[in-house]
Structure 1
């Protein structure tokens, strides 16, 4: 909470604004370190990853999620990790603008299901697997663009 307050103070001073302190919720699940909910003005943190990576959360994750909220208030709807967010991270909050974390996630990783494309095997989470099984969503490989299929990988 202190890191959130300090980063918000820095941003308010730099932006000459008086944005309110967001709610801080410890309910993020899965392998995501955190998320920003702009409509509710709240930051959600993963309590398991927080306990395992306390200093990194203070220095990186809290400012990362706060930057999303601040960008939304300051610029409106823009790309999540676009130029505005990068500016907010680096110029306002003085934090390196990294999009993803590099935390060990074995303690929070749930069961996965093998899917394949033309170039490799993928591991889909239970949620994504269930969406595929219900026909709600189709997933594609970011490398070869082919649709993911359940089963085993074959490099033929």
Structure 2
């Protein structure tokens, strides 16, 4: 995490030097999961980064992803909240301040999510797979009917991790 916080600090120092003003440093976390490499929370002055992508792509992450997210917070500080996330203000910062191509998305490998399937049965011979969200709704009282036979679907007690 030290390399990451140092890269954030360097990006801010570069922005301050080029723009002639100071910026409040954000809180930085390494707790982001999923498909995003980083997220800038403008109103909270927070940068969240994906630990797995950071670990797997450390050099590019520090050179590309960190300035990308810092540019979001700097653009917000300079122009307020009525700008597009990857609009001209952000693009200009990426080019003029950080000397980078203003790419919207990373091209890091994204590991496939592990999925849980909950199996429900009706009068039909084949069970029906529910997502965790739909299974949770059943737990809160929602009921589902089979589209083929019309019977209520009941949880079989079986689940599978894929």
TM-score (norm 1): 0.69
Looking at structure 2, the residues matched to 73 and 103 of structure 1 have their Cα atoms a distance apart, in angstroms, of 28
- What's the offset of the Cα at 1:100? 0.2
- 1:64 matched to 2:83? The reply is no
Looking at structure 1, the residues matched to 115 and 74 of structure 2 have their Cα atoms a distance apart, in angstroms, of 35
Show the counterpart of 1:88.
Answer: 93
Q: Structure 1 residues 110 and 89 mapped into 2: Cα distance closer, same or farther (>3 Å)? A: farther
Unaligned runs of 5+ in 1: 114-125, 134-156
From 21, 32, 35, the counterpart of 1:31 = 35
Q: Structure 1 residues 112 and 17 mapped into 2: Cα distance closer, same or farther (>3 Å)? A: farther
Return the structure number with greater strand share: 2
- Count residues in correspondence: 118
- 1:7 matched to 2:11? The reply is yes
Looking at structure 2, the residues matched to 103 and 31 of structure 1 have their Cα atoms a distance apart, in angstroms, of 9
Show the counterpart of 2:113.
Answer: 109
- What's the offset of the Cα at 1:50? 0.6
Unaligned runs of 5+ in 2: 118-130, 138-162
Looking at structure 1, the residues matched to 21 and 46 of structure 2 have their Cα atoms a distance apart, in angstroms, of 18
Q: Which 4+ runs in 1 deviate beyond 6 A?
A: none
TM-score (norm 2): 0.66
Q: Structure 1 residues 71 and 30 mapped into 2: Cα distance closer, same or farther (>3 Å)? A: same
Looking at structure 2, the residues matched to 110 and 75 of structure 1 have their Cα atoms a distance apart, in angstroms, of 40
Q: Structure 1 residues 10 and 30 mapped into 2: Cα distance closer, same or farther (>3 Å)? A: same
- What's the offset of the Cα at 1:112? 9.3
- 1:49 matched to 2:56? The reply is no
From 17, 21, 29, the counterpart of 2:25 = 21
- What's the offset of the Cα at 1:110? 4.1
